[in-house]
Each structure stands twice: as structure tokens, then as C-alpha cells.
């Protein structure tokens, strides 16, 4: 049985974590001009597997500037797209997924446009996005939250999920979809879409600095007192 918002102890833990992260790293607020149109955000997510955000951002900007439209990107030869995505960690995979995804949107919509999602509930819009090739929960939440849609959906990447698992806020073996389904109902009810975006960026920063995949620095971590793993360590 799902607990009502605010009744789960994880809610207060998330509030405490968020406050500690702001105190340590400062505010990370995405300005309006950094909110791109939905197809741009989708493309960035589809090509971004295991790649640095700055690299994927640059690749996405290049594709749109070089071809002039997403329709032209969709029609570009696969080998050509692969060459343009050479800086991505998996250029061939990224190019194939991108082409398949854009062609699927064009087939469903008759054009490369995601404006229909603006009239749909967030959950339904994410479900629609996840029918597209190469689009999973992180990408669908990203399109809804960080684009001009500005919806309440928590983006969870590998860093974020790892922190939540080690803190005991989601099951240890939870994948991104399970972590999302566990966390969304227990997020502080006062959090806006912008708060969720900032929370993701701050937790990601924690995962890149203290809560690293290997050799985590638990003794110095600001979240140790509220972390299941950190509390279990000897002083």
C-alpha cells in the first residue's frame, strides 16, 4: 500500500539531504533560457549514454545547426550521423538510436514535433515517450522536467540512483524506473518542478564527488548522518 505524501520517513530524509547539499554546493538553478524545446532535450538524452553532459549538449547543438531541422537529421545517412557523433561514448549506437527515435516520432505524429505532450498528464506523456526507440525513464523524465514543459518529474541518472540506493531510500537493486516509482510519491509535497530539477543536479554532484562508484569518501560525506551506508561505518 502506497503511503500518502509526507507520511513516509524518506520525505524528511530527502528534505534534510537537499538542505545539506545546498549548504555544501550552493544553489543550482536552471535559468529559463537553458530550458530547451522538447525535441532537443529528447535528442540530447538519446545520444547521451555514458557521455558527459557537455559533450552531448555540444553534439545536439551541432546536429541542429548543421542540418537545420530535426526532420533533416532524421533523413541523414546513418554513417554520416555516426561520424558527426564521434565524440559520444558510443557513436554508432547513438546514431542508430537517434535515427530510429526521430523516424518513430515522424511516423506517429506526421512531423517531428512533441507539442502534443503539452496537453497530456505527465505520466501519460512519459509513457508515450517510452514507446520510442532508445527512450527510457531518465529520458522521458528529462523531456518533461528540464524542457520548456517544466513538469514535476524527477530525473534519475546513474549517480543519483547510486546515492539513493546507498542511502537506503530505494532498494539496492532498483533500476531507474523502480527508483523513480519509489521516490516520486515520497518527494516533499512542496517541491516544484524546479526543485526536483535542482535536487537531481545536486545529488548528481554528490555522486560525482563523495559518493563515487568506487572508493566513495563516506567519512567526509555531508550525508553520512542520514545515510544507511554511512551510519554503518565505524567512526
- Longest CA span, the chain: 61
Inter-residue contact 57 to 64 (CB < 8 Å): no
Distance CA 41, CA 182 (A): 24
pTM of the predicted model over 0.85: yes
d(CA 29, CA 199): 10
Grid coordinates belonging to 84? 558527426
Q: Is 61 exposed, middle or buried (0-12, 13-18, 19+ CB in 10 A)?
A: middle
Rounded CA-CA distance 170/183 in Å is 7
Give the residue among 169, 181, 71, 164 at the shortest CA–CA distance from 126: 181
Predicted local distance difference test score (pLDDT) of residue 231:
84
- Asked if 21 contacts 203 with a C-beta cutoff of 8 angstroms, the reply is yes
Classify domain 36-146 by CATH number. Answer: 1.10.340.30
Domain ranges of the chain: 9-29+155-231, 36-146
The C-alpha cell 537531481 sits at: 200
The model's pLDDT over 219-232, given as tens digits with 9 standing for 90+, comes to 999 999 999 998 87
* pLDDT by 10-residue block (mean), the chain, 235 residues: 62 98 96 94 95 96 98 98 97 98 96 96 98 96 98 97 98 97 98 98 97 95 94 67
Topology match between the domains 9-29+155-231 and 36-146: no
pLDDT on residue 6: 46
CATH 1.10.1670.10 fits 9-29+155-231, yes or no: yes
Q: What would the grid cell of residue 31 be? A: 535559468
**How far apart, in whole angstroms, are the C-alpha atoms of residue 56 and residue 62?**
10
Amino acid at each position: 500500500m502506497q503511503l500518502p505524501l509526507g507520511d513516509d520517513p524518506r520525505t524528511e530524509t530527502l528534505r534534510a539531504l537537499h538542505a545539506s547539499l545546498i549548504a555544501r554546493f550552493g544553489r543550482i538553478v536552471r535559468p529559463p533560457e537553458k530550458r530547451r524545446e522538447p525535441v532537443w532535450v529528447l535528442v540530447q538524452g538519446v545520444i547521451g549514454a555514458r557521455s558527459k553532459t557537455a559533450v552531448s549538449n555540444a553534439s545536439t547543438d551541432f546536429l541542429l545547426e548543421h542540418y537545420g531541422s530535426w526532420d533533416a537529421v532524421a533523413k541523414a545517412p546513418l554513417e554520416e550521423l555516426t561520424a558527426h557523433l564521434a565524440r559520444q561514448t558510443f557513436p554508432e549506437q547513438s546514431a542508430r538510436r537517434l535515427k530510429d527515435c526521430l523516424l518513430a516520432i515522424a511516423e506517429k505524429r506526421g512531423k517531428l514535433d512533441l507539442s502534443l505532450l503539452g496537453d497530456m498528464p505527465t505520466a501519460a506523456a512519459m509513457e508515450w515517450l517510452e514507446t520510442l526507440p532508445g527512450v527510457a525513464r531518465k529520458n522521458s523524465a528529462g523531456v518533461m522536467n528540464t524542457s520548456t514543459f517544466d513538469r514535476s518529474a524527477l530525473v534519475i541518472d546513474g549517480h543519483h540512483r547510486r546515492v539513493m540506493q546507498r542511502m537506503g531510500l530505494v532498494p539496492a537493486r532498483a533500476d531507474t524506473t523502480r527508483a523513480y516509482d519509489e521516490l516520486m510519491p515520497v518527494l516533499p509535497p512542496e517541491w516544484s518542478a524546479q526543485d526536483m530539477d535542482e535536487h537531481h543536479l545536486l545529488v548528481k554532484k554528490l555522486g560525482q564527488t563523495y559518493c563515487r562508484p568506487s572508493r566513495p569518501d563516506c567519512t567526509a560525506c555531508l550525508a553520512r548522518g542520514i545515510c544507511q551506508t554511512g551510519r554503518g561505518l565505524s567512526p
